[in-house]
Chains A and B, each alone.
Chain A
């Protein structure tokens, strides 16, 4: 087997924290709580208890009530449920929604499908720093606007939108506000008691929990209603049918609980590593450009454009690094990133941008090694290229 890869792709997915894996394994064995939480018998009741504890743990990280958390198969399903669910339920009020061009594909594709189904979508363009300004949202609102969906942290460039300010606008105008928080939960404080957000999507596997589990926050006060996406059985208050995967839910609960305990300590560490990586790259490659706002950003994500070389070659040459050239969900098709293009980067710069994402298990040595690998390969490719 080959040498170890330096993993700097935590924004695509995180390894399961060993403490989380241990809790999950306990639920998966016969001795543990394997029963169907919907069953009336004693093993079923034990499983239900574990699910409810996890619901409280997820709620606690973001200042929600346990009853406001719906478990789903992942943030993509949460985004689908929030957006389609709200647009269909409130059809009587209007058919317009506002979102941005730099949302995750889960939101973009869902809004495009709604457009095909006869809804109207306003696609906000970010400013040159990659931010969606509250004033842009305000100007896009119409009397028939039902929903605004804006991500908290952008998955490619790590920029942080002011969802507190956007929430004040939407609440005042009587419009629902959905936030995809897949990249922010566990990385920066979220308090849904003070934020005027009505729906918020979470992912398990971006917070050191398992893949295949997510949650949607659905506000109770004032109450938000949704049309379900998956019918049959009436689980999760009828909003999401299907047998609850106890081990997955317990894993997500444990992961969110750890994040709550460790966030204050972990975030500054990640920020320091990110700064260290950027400084090292910037010194070795002065032409390198930071994509996105320099300070209004999440702790772990660094996206850098490398002028003068071709992106796929740089990415492949850095085979000892696991990094992304765009969002992982779009990497396979090798299209220049729509987010970077929306920032005004040309195809060449968008194509030669690399997203480094740092996480809980990253070290200073890994970051230093990553910078020297990128620098070496960059200069090699630059030497290879024709002048001009």
Chain B
């Protein structure tokens, strides 16, 4: 079994979450839209999960719209907001996940003006840049709470402050942040926030858009009237119940989890200092407790991932959605890195199932293949 250090791509399911889901995968359960007893029991379980998810981010249960995942939540946020407003401009940070950049490009094809907000060398949003781009025709600003590659945390509350004088909505993709950091929907001042279950030890195939009910949203999947008419389709019952349980556990165990993850990361980063030719991206910014993105001199990121994979260690070269594409990281490019640096990225993301032993194994594997390479270069 490989040592899994790719928790930002997906997390293994918490056994307690599995236990909560299993009864809903077995036996007879109704469709939550049915009025008979099995249907009403399903509805009640759904409502409980809605409260659990809301509580994780200090939102109201009525503000939770369950979706088929984080990508769908991001799509619903961008296209849903723009679908209910006159055409104008949308501002997205240059380091957003493809789930935000994808619908943004689709809006651009429909005639919307989409502009990318710059970040500095540490991956932090350039607020002067944002200020300059603001005007009355801006409908939506989307800035992620924590970046999936570098782990850099953005000041979303300051984004809200910055746009205060305009009638613009703020969306934040909190998919990587939720469960790793305290997240407060109200305190952040966001109007819309995306979440995903499988990044916080819940199941895949379920996510949520947290949205203030005053926000007009055009549904993207229609039919059946579920989720206040904002998202049609029979609810993914077991998945949603798993999401609820995972959210509840994440909320209760947040301190313990973040201490554990931070411990592993600090151990790893401290030891890296003695290894030449390895740099940490966005080292000086405030980051997620579990994420380190490194560059290995002389190694393409994809190559480094393969070398580690051979040694039984699973990491990624950036976003899982882009692995194998050979494209330089758009996040690092936006931070001002050149294409070679941006192609060198290796992302390590720890999880609760990792131990100090795993960190040592990773360091040993890194040392093994980097020294082999250094040796080969010396011979040549």
Residue of A nearest to B306 (CB): A40
- The answer for the CA separation of A61 and B238 in the assembled complex, in Å, is 25
Query: Within residues 86 to 115 of chain B, which ones have a CB less than 8 A from any CB in chain A?
Result: 97-103, 105-106
B104 to chain A, nearest CB (A): 8
Judge whether B99 and A241 touch: CB under 8 Å: yes
Indicate which residue in B75, B232, B320 contacts A44 across the interface (CB closer than 8 Å).
Answer: B320
Q: A243 and B198: CB pair below 8 A? A: yes
Considering the complex, give the chain B residue whose CB is closest to the CB of A318. B36
Judging by beta carbons under 8 Å apart, are B316 and A110 in contact?
A: no
The secondary-structure label for the interface of chain A is loop
Q: Does A338 contact B (CB under 8 A)?
A: no
* Nearest-CB residue, chain A, relative to B71: A242
> Once the chains bind, are B98 and A234 in contact (CB under 8 Å)?
yes
Whether A18 pairs with B102 at a CB distance below 8 angstroms is no
- Evaluate contact between A41 and B309: CB separation under 8 angstroms: yes
Per-position binary interface string of chain B over residues 230-257, scored 1 when its CB falls under 8 Å from any chain A CB and 0 otherwise: 0011111111100000000000000000
Inter-subunit contact A40/B12 (CB<8 Å): no
Q: Which residue of B lies closest to A13 (CB)?
A: B31
The contact of B234 among A5, A211, A323, by CB within 8 Å, is A211
Which of B21-29, B133-141, B279-287 contacts the other chain? B21-29
B1-57 interface (Cβ within 8 A of A) = 1-2, 4, 6, 9-13, 15, 18, 21-22, 25-31, 33-39
- Cβ-based interface call for A108 (8 A): yes
Task: Give the residue of B6, B25, B204 whose beta carbon is less than 8 angstroms from that of A16.
Answer: B25
Q: Mark B191-232, 1 if CB is under 8 A from A, else 0.
A: 000001010000111100000000000001111111000001
Which B residues lie within 8 Å of A248 (CB)? 203-205, 236, 239
Q: Closest CB-CB distance, A111 to chain B, in whole Å?
A: 9
A229: interface (CB < 8 Å)? yes
Give the complex CA separation of A108 and B323 in angstroms: 39
Q: Is the CB of A28 within 8 A of B203?
A: yes
- In chain A, positions 216-241 with a C-beta closer than 8 Å to chain B are 228-235, 241
A123 CB to nearest chain B CB (Å): 15
Residue interface mask A5-44, B partner, CB < 8 A = 1: 1010100110110100100110011110011101111111
B233 adjacent to A76 (CB under 8 Å): yes
A232 touches B234 (CB 8 A): no
Chain B nearest CB: distance from A1 CB in Å? 11
CB of B149 closer than 8 Å to a CB of A = no
A324 to B36, alpha carbons, bound, how many Å?
A: 8
Contact of A73 among B12, B39, B233 (CB under 8 A): B233
Q: A13-B234, A322-B39, A332-B35 are in contact. Are A242 and B15 (CB under 8 A)?
A: no
Determine whether B125 belongs to the interface, using a CB cutoff of 8 Å to chain A: no
Give the contact-size bracket for chain B.
Answer: 35 or more
Assess the B225–A80 pair: CB atoms within 8 A.
no
A246 sits at the interface (CB 8 A)? yes
Contact with B along A150-170 (1 / 0, CB 8 A): 000000000000000000000
B289 at the interface (CB under 8 A from A): no
> Given A29-B13, A41-B316, are A245 and B74 neighbors across the interface (CB < 8 Å)?
no
Is A233's CB under 8 angstroms from B102's CB?
yes
A260 within 8 A of B: no
| Min CB gap B33→A, angstroms | 5
Contacts A5-B38, A324-B34; is A229 near B221 (CB within 8 Å)? yes
Instruction: For B319, give the chain A residue with the smallest CB separation.
Output: A233
| B49 nearest CB across to chain A (Å) | 13
* B353 on the A face (CB < 8 A): yes
Select the residue from A21, A29, A108, A213 with max chain B CB neighbours within 10 A. Answer: A21
Give Cα distance in the complex from A18 to B12, angstroms: 23
A329 is an interface residue with CB less than 8 A from chain B? yes
Alpha-carbon gap, A76 to B226, bound state (A): 11
CB-based contact B238/A18 at 8 Å: no
Does residue A328 face the partner (Cβ distance < 8 Å to B)?
yes
Nearest residue, chain B, Cβ from A321: B36
Option from A80, A213, A231, A321 in Cβ contact (under 8 Å) with B236: A213
Task: Tell me if A106 counts as interface (CB < 8 A to partner B).
Answer: yes
- A77 in contact with B233 (CB, 8 Å): yes
Residues of chain B with a CB closer than 8 A to A330's CB: 33, 224-225
Q: Is the CB of B31 within 8 A of A328?
A: yes
Residue of A nearest to B8 (CB): A36
* Cβ contacts A324-365/B at 8 Å (1 or 0 each): 110011111100000000000000000000000000010000
CB-based contact A231/B102 at 8 Å: yes
The docked-state distance in angstroms from the alpha carbon of A361 to that of B292 is 51
Specify the chain B residue showing the minimal Cβ separation from A312: B35
Is residue A186 within 8 Å, beta carbon to beta carbon, of the partner chain?
Answer: no
Let me know if B232 and A106 touch, CB within 8 A: yes
Complex A-B: 11 CB contacts under 8 Å: A12-B34, A29-B18, A38-B9, A109-B222, A244-B204, A245-B198, A247-B204, A248-B204, A248-B236, A315-B35, A322-B36
